[in-house]
Chain A
Amino acid sequence: MNKLLSLLRTNARLSNAQLAVMLNTTEADIEAQIKALEKQGLIKGYLTILDEHQIDQAPVHAMIELKVVPMKEFGFQDIANRVCALENVDSVYLMAGDYDLAVFVKGKTMQEVATFVAKRLATLDSVLSTNTHFILNKYKEDGILLDGGSVQDVRTTLKSE
Chain B
Amino acid sequence: MNIKDRSITTSNNARAARLPPVVVETRGLRKTYFGKIDVPVLFGIDLQIRAEEFVAVVGQSGSGKSTLLNILGALDSPTAGTVLINGVDISELDSDGLARLRSAEVGFIFQQHYLLDEFTCLENVLMPITIRHGDVTDEDRSRMTRLLERVGLGDQINKTPDEMSGGQNQRCAVVRALANSPRIILADEPTGNLDSRSGEEVFNLMREMNRESGVAFVMITHDDRLARAADRILLIEDGLVHEISREEHRRRTADSLLT
| A and B form one complex | no
